[in-house]
Structure 1
Amino acid sequence: MTSLDKRYDALVVGSGAAGSIAVKELTERGLEVLLLEAGRDIGEADFIPAPPSAPKAMSIGLGGRLRSGLRGQYIQARRAMFKDQTSPFLVNDWQHPYASDSEFLWIRGRQLGGRLHAYGRVLLRSSDHEFKAASRDGYGEDWPFSYADLAPYYDRVEEFTGLYGTADGLPNLPDGSYRGPSPLTTAEKEFKATVEGRWANRHVVPWRYAAPNLHRVPLGIVAARATGRLTTRTDAIVHKITINPKTGLADGAVFIDRNTRTEHRVRADVVVMCASAIETVRLLLNSGGTAHPTGLANSSGLLGRYFMDQTPSLLFGDDPHHPGAEAPEDPAPPDPYYPPIGGVYIPHFDNVDAKTANPAFARGWSVQGTIGRMPVPEGAGGVVGLMGFGEMLPYHDNRITLHARRTDAWGIPIPRIHLAITDNERALMRAQVRGLREMAEASGYRVNFAASALGLDSKRIWPDADPVSRAIFRLGIRRSLAMGAAIHECGGARMGDDPAKSVLNAHNQAWDVPNLFATDASCYVSNGGVGPTLTIMALTARACEFIAREHADGSLHRHSHSHGHR
């Protein structure tokens, strides 16, 4: 094993939503930072636009999934919103196996930027509707801070990334700091009028989305490199966080070069885990030792527990009243590789301030979709796609563990995912599918299918498709909408005020190891109905401000006493 000579102020593991913001915030505050990314580097060759082609009629579209599966992406190809364009930014499943006790769809990227190359650029704020949900209904725990504590960091991240949206004045979907408006299509405006006219508690707002990143390298990494204080190492698969036995503090990591298989040792004053919920938990479990026999920072026994994802549902159809496609004028600059984005979003509307009359479930669900934006042949109805995201409750038994026998292509034990749903989630998904269909039919759309992880809600699907394609679709849709399909997995190293009930404190700092932090979705206490990306970025900015302050005064380097540092 070779040892890199330089000792860094901070080591950041992972380069996606969390890691890219971490390196920016730390280097801009004067720290020398080493960024380790398990996947490859990216370059201009990854973003060469495909030659233009004639619009195709909306169909089941099995060809692209089959090609992706044959390339080794037999799990990634099942994702609900499949696009050939994003497949190169997702993993080869032969090299990156995982085990699950129940059906779980893990969609993941390994390259500089992680899943930032494959997500929809939608950035939404959470609120005390999420952070203080347990006080309202008694399920799980509250987060160890309030919306007011995180709001300045939301502002900071939004202003840095460049966000487009509208001020809607909804308490459970706080407004952001916008560069410009986010327009709706004509069909989306009519959908908004129909839904809000029929359901007074449902509010249809435009997407809030990030400006295109024409640098391709995540903006946070671009900013960090400009300081001259960032060292980036791609193809560096971290398999162990190392602990100094005398101090009990983290002192670096061991990683395997993805290509040469050689082992390297790196040293740092602070370690910041940004590898994604499952990978961060996997790495902490793999980093156990004499002082941490059940995994690093696991004195509570909760590392890996309270793992969650949002309950997925999906409706596709067409709008015969608005044939073709509409491209509203986008205030964001054009991107030669990715198409323009935008659409409609409906935040939680059940159990918002108080328990809704007669719901069969706790918490609630939200909707993200587009209407009339996708190119179709002339005369074809506008494409309607609506996806529902329900808030799964945190359960102690849902957890990530290490497989006792199986390893990945580099000999590292793979994660085993256990994520079981209860009657609460089943009732939630039935309500999601029923609600999506109600809104679509009220708007005069023709529904091709509506489904969730529980399956299709009707045998009548894809009326224009051939019988063979319909049969294949029926077999595959449930697996495409298995838990995990929301790609909003979180939890496993949750934050809290009590070291007996959490892994991290209110600043994403491990109770047991004061110079170890985790700022990705592993820190989540509950899930909510909005996507986690913006909250991950804001939490990271907040934690890194704390890290820089504590590093400067030496607080992070003192001898670790269990739970002694808050």
Structure 2
Amino acid sequence: MDKKHYDALVIGSGAAGSFAAKELTEQGLEVLVLEAGRNVTEDDFKTDFKGPREKGIQLWARARAAVTGQPIQSKVAFYGKQLRHLFVNDRENPYSTPDDSPFLWIRGKQLGGRLHTFGRVLMRWSDYDFKAASRDGFGEDWPICYEDLAPYYEKVEEFLGIYGCPDHVRNVPDGKFVGPSKLTVAEKQFKAKTETRWPERTAIAWRYMPPNIKRVPQPILAARSTGRLTVRTDAVVKRITTDPSNGKATGAEFIDRLTKQVEAVTANVVVVCASTIESSRLLLSSTSSKHPNGLGNSSGVLGRYFMDQVPSLIIGSVPGVKGFELDDTLPADPFYGVSGGVYIPRYENLDRITNTNFARGFGYQGTIGRLFAREDKPAKFGVMGFGEMLPHYQNCVTLNSGKKDAWGLPVPHISCSMTQNEASMLREQTRAIKEMIESAGLAIEFNGSSLGLEESGEGAFPEADAFSRFLFRKSFTKSMSMGAAIHETGGVRMGADPSKSVLNSYNQSWDVPNLFVTDASSFPSGGCSGATLTAMALTVRACEYIADQYKSGRL
């Protein structure tokens, strides 16, 4: 690269990195974004793909992906083979886990990261999340509260054009919506029957961002329009560089993904948005005389308190209904199809203890009657459950120096296993959704998690061939192991006490004042709804602070 010195370096271009680029450039800073993956083009979103439109078992498509470099990525729930190229090659990007604690690390490396493959559901968190420790004594409260983040939630929602309804659910605050989202007829029936029988349980329509027809993340496009953004794709960051005299960040060294050549860039401020696991890995790799145990790790908790949500899955059909209901809220995206679905917010252990078998709780996200099905076939439903994992010191991301990726860098070693609390929660999570589904009169094919698979009626995927069904049964529990939720958080936690955290309340390193980490690795707790909107809002808030401090000469 040229020797230009930047005001700010942003590492990563996904949910957090794209918003960091937008906010900092709009505040007048010259910004460089380094993205480990490739650029995206129209060819990545072709609409002439062949094969089934169903997102289901697709065993043979998964098998082909597995033997050609994606044995981990092909395990993703609701697999669609047209998305295969938007997930990484596992051979080039290996990692390790303990033998008895598998972890499915589902990821994409391209401009925009996993924004191209996530469900686009964007829920606000509340003080039931941010101040959960004060309620039950597990872990640490966030150093911020809902009111601190609410204006930034609204700013992100307005920019992305979120669809949703004012549901007045106390632990899932209403957002700033451009229009209402909808439930299908079958989802409305599920809602009515569930809420009549269990008044404490609610079913609401998804709050989601529309598919991005321009494909390049909208915040990146906004940043480009300022004329102050430089993007370098295919840049695998090796380490963050520091000043040997004072330990402050000076920039980064990176490896060109294609040529394998090492290059260096400099900047006054470094903002790490590489994704939860990659951010921990990068800071642990960025050792120096001032930071011998990893960058900003004087507390010793860098990489610790890593979390993911505990997943479950239930699938079946809607008796008496054929085909699928088309949601006309927005025109169907020619590549992704339609959006929308039903969401059941957490209802356990909120204002009082309602289940003594576990702390915190779980929520559900899915669709009823809108999954693609041929007109002569029964309508389908699919619902995933997401339970909150408590922050445990032993769950962590460390470096495995004995194993290297395609660019010669030590791979992350991911240790993430359930304790009795999560196991008890997961049992109730699978039991409760089964009773809600049965109460609504829907027909279950299977229900399960990493703890086991239960089949009903004709069993899982009754129209699939016998061999596919056999392999599905054999592999199901492993495909639902930790990581399957794809909601990783923690490892570079923020907090009020420098001895127990890596970052302060503005996502700023306690040890390195010009270093910020704003992705979900900064979360002190993991919640039970998606982390994306909160990571975006945290990033906007942190970048407002960065710009103010930078312009006043305090950074």
- Shorter-chain TM-score: which interval? over 0.9
Q: Are the counterparts in 2 of residues 348 and 529 from structure 1 also a CA contact under 8 Å?
A: yes
SS class of match (1:221): helix
2:47 to 33, 46, 49: 49
Q: Which of residues 65, 70, 73 is equivalent to 2:70? A: 73
In 1, Cα distance between equivalents of 2:53 and 2:411: 41
CA deviations 1:236-271 (Å, max 9, x no partner) are 000110001123210000000001111111000000
Deviation at 1:53, TM superposition (A): 6.9
Instruction: Give per-residue Cα distances to partners, 1:397-453, cap 9 Å, x unaligned.
Output: 110000031110000000000012111111111111111211111111221111112
Q: Show the 5 A alignment for 1:118-157.
A: 118-157=117-156
In structure 1, distance between residues paired with 2:317 and 2:455: 17
The one-letter amino acid paired with 1:406 is K
Q: What's the CA shift for 1:174?
A: 0.4
Q: Whole-Å Cα distance in 1 between the matches of residues 529 and 51 of structure 2? A: 34
Q: Counterparts of 1:440 and 1:372 in 2: how far apart (Å)? A: 13
Q: Residues of 2 paired with 1:508 and 1:74: CA distance?
A: 35
Aligned residue for 1:362, secondary structure, equals coil
Q: Which one of the candidate residues 93, 102, 105 is aligned to 2:90?
A: 93
Q: Does 1:430 align with 2:437?
A: no
Paired residue type of 1:422: T
Greater mean alpha carbon deviation, residues 150-159 or residues 459-468? 459-468
TM-score scaled to structure 1, two decimals? 0.95
Letter in 2 for 1:39: G
**Displacement of 1:459:** 7.8
Q: 2: CA distance between counterparts of 1:214 and 1:61?
A: 26
Residue segments in structure 2 that go unaligned for 5+ positions in a row = none
Equivalent of 1:28 in 26, 38, 46: 26
Q: Report deviation, 1:333.
A: 4.4
Q: Tell whether 2:192 aligns with 1:163.
A: no
The equivalent residue for 2:264 is: 265
Give the match's secondary structure for 2:3.
Answer: strand
Q: In 2, Cα distance between the equivalents of 1:459 and 1:292? A: 56
Q: Residues of 2 paired with 1:183 and 1:367: CA distance?
A: 17
Whether the 8 Å contact between 1:65 and 1:77 is mirrored in structure 2 is yes
C-alpha separation in 2, matches of 1:59 and 1:492 = 33
Partner of 2:478: 479
Superposed CA RMSD in Å reads 1.4
Return the offset for 1:70: 2.6
Q: For the Cα contact (< 8 Å) 1:55–1:377, is it kept in 2? A: no
Taking structure 2 as the reference length, what is the TM-score of the superposition? 0.97
Return the alpha-carbon distance in structure 2 between the equivalents of residues 178 and 459 of structure 1. 39
Q: Which residue of 1 aligns with 2:192?
A: 193
Matched residue SS, 1:164: coil
Check conservation: 1:131, 1:145, Cα contact below 8 A.
yes
Once the two structures are superposed, what CA deviation does each residue of 1:28-86 show, in whole Å capped at 9, x if it has no partner?
00000000000000111111112577766x86321221122133111000112211122
Contact 2:283 2:295 in 1 (8 A): yes
Partner-residue secondary structure (3-state), 2:239: strand
Distance 1:355 1:263, change over 3 A: same
Which residue does 2:543 correspond to in 1? 544
Work out which of the residue numbers 428, 436, 441 in structure 1 matches 2:438: 441
**Matched letter for residue 28 of structure 2:** G
Matches within 5 A, 1:390-429: 390-429=387-426
Residue pairs, 1:111-122, within 5 angstroms: 111-122=110-121
1:508 match: 507
Q: Which residue of 2 aligns with 1:518?
A: 517
Written as runs of structure 1 = structure 2, the 5 A alignment for 1:7-406 is: 7-50=5-48, 60-101=57-98, 102-330=101-329, 332-356=330-354, 358-406=355-403
Structure 2 counterpart of 1:415, which letter?
Answer: P
User: d(CA) in 1 for partners of 2:372 and 2:303?
Assistant: 43
C-alpha distance in 2 between matches for 1:375 and 1:354? 40
The separation in 2 between residues aligned to 1:284 and 1:546, in whole angstroms, is: 22
Q: Is the 8 A contact 2:493 2:502 kept in 1?
A: yes
In the alignment, structure 1 residue 470 sits paired with structure 2 residue 469: yes
Change over 3 Å in CA distance of 1:468–1:334 after alignment to 2: closer
Query: Secondary structure of the residue that 1:193 maps to in structure 2?
Result: helix
1:99-146: CA deviation from partner (whole Å, max 9, x where unpaired):
011110000010000000001111110000100000000000000010
CA contact (8 A) 1:59 1:465 kept: no
Supply the distance in 2 between the matched residues of 1:76 and 1:52 (Cα, whole angstroms): 20
Distance 1:444 1:229 in 2: 56
**Residues 1:172 and 1:68: Cα distance change in structure 2 (over 3 Å):** same
**Residue 314 of structure 2 contacts residue 383 of structure 2 at CA under 8 Å; is this kept in 1?**
yes
1:377 shift after superposition: 2.1
Q: Percent of aligned positions with the same letter in both sequences?
A: 55
C-alpha separation in 2, matches of 1:449 and 1:19: 38
Whether contact under 8 Å (2:58, 2:79) holds in the other structure is no
Aligned equivalent of 2:447? 450
Give the distance between the partners of 1:268 and 1:424, measured in 2 at CA: 44
Contact 1:320/1:380, CA 8 A, preserved across alignment? no
Conserved 8 A contact 1:288-1:295? yes
Whichever residue aligns with residue 193 of structure 1, its letter is A
Instruction: Note the alpha carbon deviations across 1:285-313, whole angstroms, 9 max, x for none.
Output: 00011111111100000000000000000
CA distance change for structure 1 residues 52 and 197 in 2, over 3 Å: closer, same or farther?
Answer: farther
1:458: how far off?
4.5
Please give the alpha-carbon distance, in whole angstroms, between the structure 2 residues aligned to 1:458 and 1:40.
41
User: Take 2:416 and 2:262, find their aligned partners in 1: how far apart are those partners?
Assistant: 33
